[in-house]
Amino acid sequence: MININDAKFITSAAGIADSPEFAMSEVAFLGRSNVGKSSLINALTQRKGLAKSSSTPGKTQLVNYFEVKFGQKFSENEKFDEALANLGENFSLMFVDLPGFGYAKVSKKMHYIWQKNLDEFIKNRPNIKLFVHLIDSRQFDLDIDRNLREYVESFLRGDQQILRLYTKADKLNQAGRAKLLKSDPGALFVSTLKGSGVAKARELIIKRAFGL
């Protein structure tokens, strides 16, 4: 079982130029504004107010760094996971909360500056090992998400992976779920409202970030 020993805000940055280097792997969270990114980061780290909603009016769009310290103990009645066991009892990751895409309440000029900053950041940050792309499960085939996916795939390095997570699964009906699964058969659903899929997502994020 994986525990969160600590999760804390480290710093904010406007782009790559003022981002410190950390001696650990990074997991970058991407998604449209309002997709449920802050809620998921808070659920994954079990810290309620850690990440703040990107749709808060007037809030500056910054890259936020959260250091997450994990701990694990293996009990006898648990299925032994060799990949996770390799990580030892304690390990850390830096969660990188990137500004939500498609945020409407800013001027064109500001929007352009963010895009440029973000583009530079995403492509040039050596420690990013995993991009977690959050997609609203009720609107899974939007152009903005298709573009985001193609964009990340266009520069993905050999030591990097993408994990797609479909949010707000509690709002999805049977038909919607079936339609999504047809388009992405291995789709992973999360609901922070119900708490479903969060532990599974946490485990996958850890495994992929460490290349396991």
Question: Which of residues 105 and 171 has its CB atom nearest to ligand GDP in the complex?
Answer: 171
Question: Which of residues 33 and 92 has its CB atom nearest to ligand GDP in the complex?
Answer: 33
CB 51 within 8 A of CB 64: yes
Question: Which of residues 56 and 107 has its CB atom nearest to ligand GDP in the complex?
Answer: 56
Q: Return the axis-axis angle of helices 37-45 and 198-209, rounded to nearest 10°.
A: 80
Give the pairing of strands 161-167 and 63-72.
unpaired
What lies within 8 Å, CB to CB, of 11 at 6+ separation is 20, 64, 65
Question: Which of residues 61 and 192 has its CB atom nearest to ligand GDP in the complex?
Answer: 192
Q: How far is the CB of 36 from ligand GDP (least distance, A)?
A: 3
What lies within 8 Å, CB to CB, of 210 at 6+ separation is 25, 87, 91, 129
Q: How far is the CB of 68 from ligand GDP (least distance, A)?
A: 17
Q: How far is the CB of 52 from ligand GDP (least distance, A)?
A: 8
Site residues, ligand GDP (CB under 6 A): 31, 33-39, 53-55, 100, 167-168, 170-171, 191-193
Q: How far is the CB of 22 from ligand GDP (least distance, A)?
A: 22
**Six token digits for residue 71:** 């701990």
